[in-house]
Amino acid sequence: MKVDFHVHTNRSIDAVHSPRLMVKRAKKTGLDGIVITDHNRLFPKREAQHLTKEFGILVIPGIEGGNIAVQKHWIALGVERPITMCRIDSILSFIRNEGGLSIAPHPQARLGYADYTSLGFDAVESLNGCEPDSNQRINNSGHIPEVGGSDAHALPMLGFTWTRINADATVESILEAVRKGWCRPGGSIIPFFDRLRFYPQYITHRILREPMAAYASAWKVMREIRLVKTGESSSTAVEHNRFQGDQHSRRSIPVLPLDWR
């Protein structure tokens, strides 16, 4: 199977297209599955199941944690409860105890955990579609399982980067296969001009069409960054899920603590 382990939708402040559009495009590009990893927002399981049925491609709910601009990121899959710990070691233990899987995304980039092996991540993203330079510095000396993810933030960024995985088309089978190391990154980084296409689309869809929402989001992010930087807060809010068919969507998700080692 070809599975992209790192995809953002417009539920991330810095991404353009809806989950439906991203899933539809992923199917069109020949992927067999994607993991939706919006920033600090766990994708609803039932919505993922609906999209899986509708488009015939496995949609796996995930989350990418950490402040988008000033903290290191981690990815979790197979977790259904909110993650409320502060330290990265507690977060990783929680994910493991929940039967989930942790991935260190872009470990050699500014917002990555370069010490992913000693921290105990289950897998490392040794091919990130948007990080041509930092990818080259990964040597995975601990030999933990490796995956590839596009880190796509818009439609044109899908279909270049993936993980070749020996598994059935179920979430459980995918998690098990990664734990056993039956996976390897495939494809390439996203070509420069396809990465560039993100910017005009972001400006059109997220700023010009929704100026007030863009202003509110930017203000919120700036405030979070300022609080984190001045040490007044170690937390960033996890927003509500929007899927109306999901019972959990109407429940407030606790604040997601950030690693601040």
Residues in contact with Zn ion by CB under 5 A are: 64, 73, 105, 151
The residue sitting closest to Zn ion, measured at its beta carbon, is 73
Report, in Å, the least distance between residue 8 CB and Zn ion: 6
DSSP state string for 102-146 = EEE-STTSTTS-TTHHHHT-SEEEEEETT-HHHHTT---TT---E
Lookup: tokens for 72: 């290191």
Report, in Å, the least distance between residue 105 CB and Zn ion: 5
Report, in Å, the least distance between residue 199 CB and Zn ion: 16
Phi, psi of 106 (to 5 degrees): 30, 65
Nearest residue (CB) to Zn ion, 9 versus 52: 9
Nearest residue (CB) to Zn ion, 64 versus 246: 64
CB 240, CB 252: distance < 8 Å: yes
Report, in Å, the least distance between residue 112 CB and Zn ion: 7
Dihedral angle computed from the Cα positions of residues 165, 168, 173 and 174, in that order, rounded to the nearest 10 degrees: 30
Report, in Å, the least distance between residue 72 CB and Zn ion: 9
Query: Which of 208, 17, 225 has its CA nearest to residue 111?
Result: 225
Phi, psi of 24 (to 5 degrees): -60, -45
Nearest residue (CB) to Zn ion, 64 versus 122: 64
DSSP state string for 212-250 = HHHHHHHHHHHHHHHHHHTTS-SEEPPPPP--TT-GGGG
CB 54, CB 46: distance < 8 Å: no
Nearest residue (CB) to Zn ion, 50 versus 60: 60
- 150: three-class secondary structure by DSSP: coil
Nearest residue (CB) to Zn ion, 41 versus 50: 41
Nearest residue (CB) to Zn ion, 9 versus 50: 9
Report, in Å, the least distance between residue 126 CB and Zn ion: 14
